Amino acid sequence: EAQVTQNPRYLITVTGKKLTVTCSQNMNHEYMSWYRQDPGLGLRQIYYSMNVEVTDKGDVPEGYKVSRKEKRNFPLILESPSPNQTSLYFCATRPSGRAEAFFGQGTRLTVV
């Protein structure tokens, strides 16, 4: 079954404690991206990757890092989380030449 898997689904952490949210896909898609969803703001792109070792900033990259060492994985790293990064995060993938994306189930992050 084609899947985009995020872990964890829920996370409560404290300010400044480094964390990683993982994203893994089994569809062999080249493109992967991260979004955050906030009330009244919709989804905003954080980072994206066109392929292995190729990453680029989206609209709201401050405070986040990503890496793409393997095609199937695209972790989101928060080196020093702050309360304004409390949000619902989604990973998405799509194949080359296609416009529609496939989304993970989401990770609800709370930073206190």
Partner 1 sequence: GDSVTQMEGPVTLSEEAFLTINCTYTATGYPSLFWYVQYPGEGLQLLLKATKADDKGSNKGFEATYRKETTSFHLEKGSVQVSDSAVYFCALSDVGSQGNLIFGKGTKLSVKP
Residue 78 C-beta: closest distance to partner 1, Å: 20
CB-nearer residue toward partner 1: 42 or 112? 42
Residue 35 C-beta: closest distance to partner 1, Å: 8
d(CA 111, CA 87): 9
Task: Identify whether the C-beta of residue 103 lies closer than 8 Å to the C-beta of residue 3.
Answer: no
Residue 51 C-beta: closest distance to partner 1, Å: 11
CB-nearer residue toward partner 1: 85 or 89? 89
d(CA 73, CA 37): 21
Binding residues (CB under 8 A) for partner 1: these are 4, 31, 33, 35, 40-45, 48, 50, 56, 58, 90, 92, 94, 99-106
CB-nearer residue toward partner 1: 85 or 107? 107
Cβ neighbours around 37 below 10 Å, total: 14
CB-nearer residue toward partner 1: 18 or 98? 98
Look at the block and give the residue holding tokens 């493109």.
31
Residue 70 C-beta: closest distance to partner 1, Å: 20
Backbone angles phi, psi at 84, to 5 degrees: -75, 0
Between CA 110 and CA 84, with CA 50 as vertex, the angle to 5 degrees is 20
